[in-house]
Amino acid sequence: MIHRRQFLLSLGAAGILAGSRRSALAAAMDHGLPAAEATPGFDPHVELSLRAEPGTAAMLDGAPTAVWRYSGSVLKGPADALGFLDGAGHIPVIRVRRGQRLRVHFDNALPEASIVHWHGLNIVQRMDGHPMYAIDPGQRHVYEFEVGNRAGSYWFHPHPHERTSWQVYQGMTGMLLISDEEEEAAQLPAGEQDLALVIQDRSFDGGNQLVYLNNVRHNWMMGFAGERVLVNGRADYRREVARGAHRVRLFNGSNATLYHLRWSNGAPFTVIGTDGGLLARPVEQPALTLGVGERADVWVDFSGLEAGASVQLLAESWTPSLQHFTSEQLGLPLVDGARLIASFVATAQQIPVQALPAQLSTPPLPVLEQAVNASAPRRIEISMMMGSPRLNGRSFGAMDEVHDSDRVKLGTTEVWEFVNEGGMGMGMGMGGMMQMAHPMHVHNVSFRVLSRTRSAAASATHQHLATGFTDHGLKDVVLVLPGERVQVLMAFENHAGLYLYHCHILEHEDLGMMRNYLVET
């Protein structure tokens, strides 16, 4: 384990929940709400079985690693509607089209309660995976919804309160790839030239078994950072690629680690998509900085490689307190302070030349002039005061608790401002406030990043990480560094109900850095 990040604060669940108001409905939720069942008359285009269960995965050479994983099968629809990413073989990928009706029979075969959150999707409250709907072992929850999101790289993961970090760490992560006619019109690389890479870090004991924080989640305010960086669940990931253009979908699926990525040959990244789908036009930048939950689709052309030659994806690993701990991790040798995490080796196959489109799509970006609060943004103050993670001074309380300041009107457009004031780096600031980076996620909507401002001059660390920000197009996670204020614009176009916003450092989410917000008619 990497000892300097193991900052124990000796918090217990009672301390986290002390003082929260609990209603009769919330008390009933302790025993679980009735699981959703299949709806008569709902005729799905795609119907899947998805099961959460213990299993194994080949993460390292030698003995298999015990994991919790998703398994499943296609009950109706194309055979490739459900598959698994290459690598360790335990990360599922669901493929659907916009406009399709999807039904998923989710069965919980774990020894504890769980539920699935469809990260990035705009869907009704009952289907979103709020922890109030977590089902007990042996129960089934049926998801039914029409896929309304535009084409893009989305994902799914467990969302039971105070156990999300543990369940994701044990292996429960999946990709959800949506296609549509607009994406097809862009004529991007497809099939074997469309690669999804899930980046996660894990620690192992001498028998290749996962090691995680001694399972005491409330003691880990710094978030978990692992000793090995895995790609698609596999250490030292290697992929053979034809010599030609590829679409590479990069996703930070770690619990807490922030990655700063670059190519070994010094080539820039050509970003064609972010969280909410394709950009209007490609954006070239020297690096990628991905907070937990962020995705970036990039165009990569391997046509210049000779058969047998390779190019590597390099990663710097940063803790939420902005410690660069790459050198403390295990794996292949460092290259200028970064770790080689994936190799792409050219085969003899030369595929036809494919030009990068100048115009990719027309993203439905919200318009600032339509915001009801453009001159007075909704302010979300992020803090970790005296060991307690808070949003606007409050931690997550009762499952149905909604503060008056967390109510929005259906059909409106709003500016939200995430405020993470304080200096850069590890330590305690004024009033015992811990200074950390926070990737902020809002359920049920995609948003447009309007601006970043700072309370002081940017440090060298901030300038370095800023070269890789992916504040383009539509987003559902935005990384907010210490000292920053980030304004985002979002439209609450449909689906009244109760949703969440939270820090996507999973340990922070479990500790209560999460709030309900209510979309009211």
pTM here is 0.92
Residue 362: inside a domain:
no
Contacts of 198 (CB under 8 A, 6+ apart): 85, 87, 91, 173, 175, 231, 232, 233, 251, 253
Whether 90 and 119 share a structural domain: yes
Domain shared by 176 and 54, yes or no: yes
The β-bridge relationship of strands 101-108 and 46-57 is parallel
Q: Which residues contact 226 (CB under 8 A, 6 or more apart)?
A: 200, 201, 202, 203, 254, 257, 329
pLDDT in tens, 30-54: 435 778 899 999 999 999 999 999 9
The answer as to whether 134 is a domain residue is yes
pLDDT, position 66: 98
- The string of pLDDT tens digits covering residues 320-347 is 999 999 999 999 999 999 999 999 999 9
Answer yes or no: is 119 within a domain.
yes
* Residue 363 placed within a domain: no
Decide if pLDDT at 176 tops 90: yes
Asked which of 145, 180, 215 is the last residue of a domain, the reply is 180
CATH number reported for the structural domain that contains residue 161 in this entry: 2.60.40.420
| pLDDT single digits (tens) 429-443 | 433 456 899 999 999
pLDDT, tens only, 360-409: 999 999 999 999 999 999 999 999 877 688 999 999 999 999 999 999 99
- Identify which of 141, 134, 131, 129 has the alpha carbon closest to the alpha carbon of residue 114: 134
Residue range 203-231, pLDDT digits in tens: 999 999 999 986 554 456 889 999 999 99
Strands 378-385, 269-274: pairing kind? unpaired
Together in a domain, 87 and 210: no
The total domain count for the chain is 3
**Statement to judge: residues 225 and 154 lie in one domain:** no
pLDDT at position 49: 98
Please return the burial class of 326, using the count of CB atoms within 10 Å of its CB with bins 0-12, 13-18 and 19+: buried
Q: What is the mean pLDDT of the chain?
A: 90
Q: Residues 174, 117, 251, 213: is their CA dihedral positive or negative? A: negative
* 185 within a domain of the structure (yes/no): no
Bridge partners of 230?
A: 200, 235
Instruction: Determine the 3-state secondary structure of 87 from DSSP.
Output: coil
Q: What is the phi-psi region of residue 434: left when phi exceeds 0, alpha when psi lies from -120 to 50, beta otherwise?
A: beta
226 part of a folded domain: yes
Same domain, 174 and 219: no
pLDDT (mean) for 276-293: 98
Residue 479 to residue 204: CA distance in whole angstroms: 28
Q: Which residue has the higher pLDDT, 10 or 429?
A: 429
Same domain, 174 and 221: no
Question: Hunting for tokens 């780096």 — which residue is that?
Answer: 425
Domain hosting residue 111, numbered range: 3-180
pLDDT, position 433: 52
Sequence-distant (6+) residues with CB within 8 A of 27 are none
Query: Which of 135, 159, 180 represents a domain boundary (last residue)?
Result: 180
